[in-house]
Amino acid sequence: MKALYSLFLVFALAAIALVGAGALGMERTFGLYIPFLAAAVFVVGFCWRVVQWGKSAVPFCIPTTCGQQESLPWIKQSTIENPSTTTGVVLRMLLEVLLFRSLFRNNKPQLYSDTRVRYASSKWLWLGALAFHYSFLIIFVRHMRFFTEPVPAFIRGIESVDSMLQIAAPTLYLTDLIFITAVTYLFLRRVVVPSIRYISQVQDYFPLFLILGIGLTGIFMRYFAKVDIMAVKELTMGLVTFSWKVPQGIGVIFYVHVFLVSILLMYFPLSKLMHMGGVFLSPTRNMNCASRKFRHINPWKFENVHYHTYEEYEDEFREKMVEKGLPVEKPL
């Protein structure tokens, strides 16, 4: 049901663009104003959220330690999983952000008869997430050719590697295939696995459908509708150089694609997609684990509270202590 809501919502958004940019001829709105607004909302919103997190204090050193601590010199420390130096922390974060280290650990418990639980390695989520994020990144970088003139060599390089199979014309990008497959997997997983379906909400399905919609409209316009690429570039270059103009005859599918991208950009700072920024701020991963070696300072003070001092303790128990021969500060 929640998935259907989200699907419907994405269809509705596509319809808005179809009608708006198509039937009503509002190409300027859908080609220039909304994308520009969306980009602004994204940048401002993203920064705003990160600043809001950054304003909260980090009172304690609470990393999750996933390997041997630094202790005696002859015991081999796990310098990345339980880092005690900044280099270690940086490497730990890089492994997490670039290779999804924690997801790689994933396993799955299975109940056997005879009161036994076994664990099997389960790397599908890791693989799906990695495929999704990296293909998304490459597609994003590829799109930079629409915003640069001349197109930098590395973007051309990525393009030629991506289309090395030379299938069809225009040549098929491998990342397009991987991307669609990965998003579909991430969606199916949510619907098929009962426990994942149970925890999934509209906000989990919506971005998946939105991103899928963006991918499909993009693919449709590249391989099937074949929009006027030169005209598109004219528009996008105009957008970034602030000489805004809308060339005629791009094709309405382009506006649907751009509108969905704009929605994604605006939705981003409001949603769980902010994990992109948040992952860097997670105190369980980005802190040094040597909390006995280096003092971590809490920026706020505890309110003045009473401590139970030794004097008060001895006053209550002095007699009993003396009786047992335990040393006391004040005699009876």
Partner 1 sequence: MSTLPRPEELYANINHTPPKTDWMDVPVDIKPGRYCYAANPESLNYVGFPHARKWNPLDEDWKLPENWKEIIFNGIRERLDKYRSFKVFMDICVRCGACADKCHFFIGSGDPKNMPVLRAELIRSVYRGEFTTFGKLLGKFAGARPLTEQVLKEWWYYLFQCSECRRCSVFCPYGIDTAEITIMGRELINLLGLNIDWIATPVANCYRTGNHLGIQPHAFFDMIDFFCDDIEDITGIRPEPQFNKKGADILFVTPSGDVFADPGTYTCMGYLILFEYLKREYGLDVTWSTYASEGGNFGFFTSHETMKRLNSKIYMEAARLGVKWIIGGECGHMWRVLHQYMDTLNGPEFQSPNMIVPTNPITGTVFQHAASTKMIHITEFTADLIKHGKLNLDKSRNAGIHLTWHDSCNTSRGMGLFEEPRYIARHVVEKFTDMPPGTIREETFCCGGGAGLNAGECEELRMMGGLPRASAVKYVHEKYGVNMLGCVCAIDRAVLPGTMKYWVPEVSVCGLHELVGNALVIPGEKEREVNLRGEDLPGKEDE
Contacts to partner 1 from residues 267-296, by CB under 8 A: 270-272, 274-275, 278-279, 281-285, 289-296
Inter-residue contact 302 to 59 (CB < 8 Å): no
SS3 101: helix
Tell me the residue type at 4: L
Inter-residue contact 118 to 112 (CB < 8 Å): yes
Nearer to partner 1, 148 or 298 (CB): 298
Question: Which of 94, 139, 56 is CA-nearest to residue 286?
Answer: 94
For residue 248, give both structure tokens.
């005629």
What is the rounded CA–CA span in Å between residue 152 and residue 159? 11
Verify binding: residue 62, partner 1, rule CB under 8 A.
yes
Please tell me the count of residues contacting partner 1 according to CB under 8 A. 99
In angstroms, give the least distance from the CB of 184 to partner 1.
16
Please pick, from the candidates 4, 43, 65, 137, the single residue that binds partner 1 as defined by CB under 8 A.
65
Chain centre distance of CA 27: 32
Verify binding: residue 70, partner 1, rule CB under 8 A.
yes
In angstroms, give the least distance from the CB of 72 to partner 1.
6
Inter-residue contact 259 to 21 (CB < 8 Å): yes
Inter-residue contact 268 to 26 (CB < 8 Å): no
Please pick, from the candidates 49, 91, 184, 223, the single residue that binds partner 1 as defined by CB under 8 A.
49
Helix, strand, coil: what percent of the chain each, to 5? 65, 5, 35
Which 211-270 residues touch partner 1, going by CB under 8 A?
270
Tell me the residue type at 80: I
Please pick, from the candidates 82, 135, 236, 288, the single residue that binds partner 1 as defined by CB under 8 A.
82
In angstroms, give the least distance from the CB of 332 to partner 1.
14
SS3 263: helix
What residues does 111 pair with on adjacent strands? Answer: 117
Nearer to partner 1, 211 or 250 (CB): 211
Stretch that binds partner 1, among 27-35, 150-158, 195-203, 221-229 (CB under 8 A): 195-203
Verify binding: residue 75, partner 1, rule CB under 8 A.
yes
Verify binding: residue 56, partner 1, rule CB under 8 A.
yes
Q: What is the DSSP letter of 63?
A: P
What is the rounded CA–CA span in Å between residue 20 and residue 18? 6
Which 95-124 residues touch partner 1, going by CB under 8 A?
96, 100, 102-103, 105-109, 111, 115-117, 119
Nearer to partner 1, 160 or 284 (CB): 284
x/- map, 121-160, partner 1, by CB under 8 A: ----x---x-------------------------------
